[in-house]
Every structure is written in structure tokens, then in C-alpha cells.
Amino acid sequence: MPEDMMSTKEIAHYLGIHEKQVYALIKEKKIPATRVTGKWIFPKKIIDEWIESSAKRGVREAREKSRRIEGGLLASGSNDPILDMLQTHMKKEHPEFYIFSANTGSTEGLKILNKGYTDIAWSHLLDPSSGVYNIPFLSAYLPNLKAVVVNLFYRDLGLLVARKNPLKIHGFEDLARKGVRFINRQAGSGTRILLDGELKKRRIPSAKIQGYEREVYTHFEVGLSILSKDADAGIATAAVSKLLGLSFIPITRESFDMILDQPTFFQKGVQAFMNVLQSKEFRGKVEPLGGYDFKDSGKILHSSH
């Protein structure tokens, strides 16, 4: 059989299913197949296209299911401890609205938003050349949208180390010291991009940092890795350091923004979310944590025309 054609046995192996399931898919006309001299054959190129379109359809169907929950919105992108607190206040103040959030990292959040698989992206991507957050990345990552960038808050980001900083870690150069174990964030996250930019600026090869390849997806995971003595240093928010009783070495104050398409911005669920963010009750819970600045909260930083 030609290399670009597969038999039922080969397609079963290719899809990781039983051969009987292949015949069931043929019967239900759910898989592209051709019959030649009494045998079913499957063009590999068409099968690959079918797999890709099925995967995309699955994501779209998941999104449609969330739409069936009245007031349901999907969010993805960066991570911050107070986003969970916001969700709790949303349920209390506006039980008719839901925001389902996934920690994918800032870059992936924007890409998913552009594809229409999510409604909102949380992002804190720094453009080193301009010093501006998120807006310089819109043309590259959101070509299909009329994007609105809304500031949620500014937050202090820094190096987290064990209480009283026993290894005397004070900056990026110390991460390359022998015996210092680092815990990293995943590629594409705003924190990872910040780290890579700082290392490049200082000409510190990532290969010199023990643990550079060890990745976690949230600020709390960074803090817990240090608290459990699985790592000596990592980058996370001041709030996490305070909650876990770790020492904090400030790096920067960054803009944490909500990015969405213009029609989505005017949805009632989004406006309810903004009201909760600016409420006295929510601020009263967050401000004791420290490390947050709400001076521009709710401000539209950019709107595409």
C-alpha cells in the first residue's frame, strides 16, 4: 500500500484506538475513508486534516457549552493570587455571571484569544525596548481582533527566597551562583519573558542557572517550591511572599491587564467583573496583602480602531 494510504489496522494504530472502533466511525460517517476492491483505505493527508479540524471543533464546542451557562465567560492567560479572590467576590455579588479561567501564560492567552477560543486574556508582557506592557504585542498576537486593553492593577514582582534569605540572594547575578537552585515559570509566561530579558541584558547564560529548565505554572507553585525547600529562589509576586512567609527582593512593578475584543468588553458579565474589582469590599480584602496598586484599575489603556 502506498505510504500516503493506510489500512484499517494502520489507521487504528495511528489513532490509538481498536480496529472495531474504526469500523464504527466509518459506519457513522465520522471519519474520511475510501473503499477500493472491497477494502477501506484512508489517505494520510486527509486524516491529518480531519484530526486537526476535529480538535478545533472540540474546543469550539466546549466554548459553546460555556455559553449555554447564561453569563458564562472563558478567560485564559497569566496568573495572580487575587484573581481567585475576584472570582469569589463575583459569585457573591453577581451569582448570575461566571468566569472560567485557565492558567496558560500571557503569550498563550493572547494566541487563544485571537483564535476565538476564549473571551478574555490576562497578560503582563513587557516590551523591553519601549518599557510598555502588552500593547506592543497586539499587532503580532491579535491581528483578528479589535482589542481593548484594560488595566486591572499594578503589582510588585520580585525574587522569592527562604525566610531571612540564608543564601544572601540579592539579584539575577546570584541565580548563577553554584549551589543556588532556581524554580522557573513556563515558556511564554510574562514572568519567564521578563527573566530572559534580564539575563540577556546581564549576559548571564541560562545554562549557568541550576533549575532553569524546571517549570511551574503559577506564582503559588513558585512559592511552595521554596517553602518546601525544593528550590532556593524563584520569581513571583510580593503577595505570595507575604502569604507564605518568604523573603522578597523587588524586581519591578508591572501592569497586569485584561485584554478582550471590543464587543466582549460591553457584555454585562465583564462590566460586573469591573464593578467587583473596584468595590470597597474587594479592595478591603486585598490591600492588607500589599504589593498592589489600583490607581489605574478599570482604565482603558488601549482600544483598536
25 lies in the same domain as 92: no
CA distance 62 to 60: 5
Main-chain dihedrals φ then ψ at residue 7, nearest 5 degrees: -85, 175
| Predicted local confidence at residue 28, as pLDDT | 76
166 lies in the same domain as 286: yes
SS3 content of the chain, % helix, strand, coil (to 5): 45, 25, 30
Q: Of 15, 31, 56, which residue is a domain's last?
A: 56
Mean pLDDT of 179-194: 95
Whether 97 has a pLDDT exceeding 90, the answer reads: no
49 lies in the same domain as 140: no
Main-chain dihedrals φ then ψ at residue 79, nearest 5 degrees: -130, 140
Range of the domain at 49: 5-56
CATH number assigned to the domain comprising residue 251: 3.40.190.290
Whether 293 has a pLDDT exceeding 80, the answer reads: yes
187 within some domain: yes
46 within some domain: yes
| Predicted local confidence at residue 68, as pLDDT | 45
Mean pLDDT of 236-258: 96
Q: Among 17-21, 37-41, 65-69, whose mean pLDDT is lowest?
A: 65-69
56 against 38, higher pLDDT? 38
161 within some domain: yes
Handedness of CA 297, 198, 168, 178 (dihedral sign): positive
pTM: 0.75
| Predicted local confidence at residue 63, as pLDDT | 53
Domain tally, the chain: 2
215 lies in the same domain as 249: yes
63 within some domain: no
108 within some domain: yes
**Rg of the chain over all Cα atoms, to the nearest angstrom:** 24
61 within some domain: no
206 lies in the same domain as 283: yes
- Nearest alpha carbon to residue 206 among 219, 193, 216, 190: 193
CA distance 192 to 94: 34
215 lies in the same domain as 269: yes
Confidence class for position 34, pLDDT limits 50, 70, 90? confident
290 lies in the same domain as 143: yes
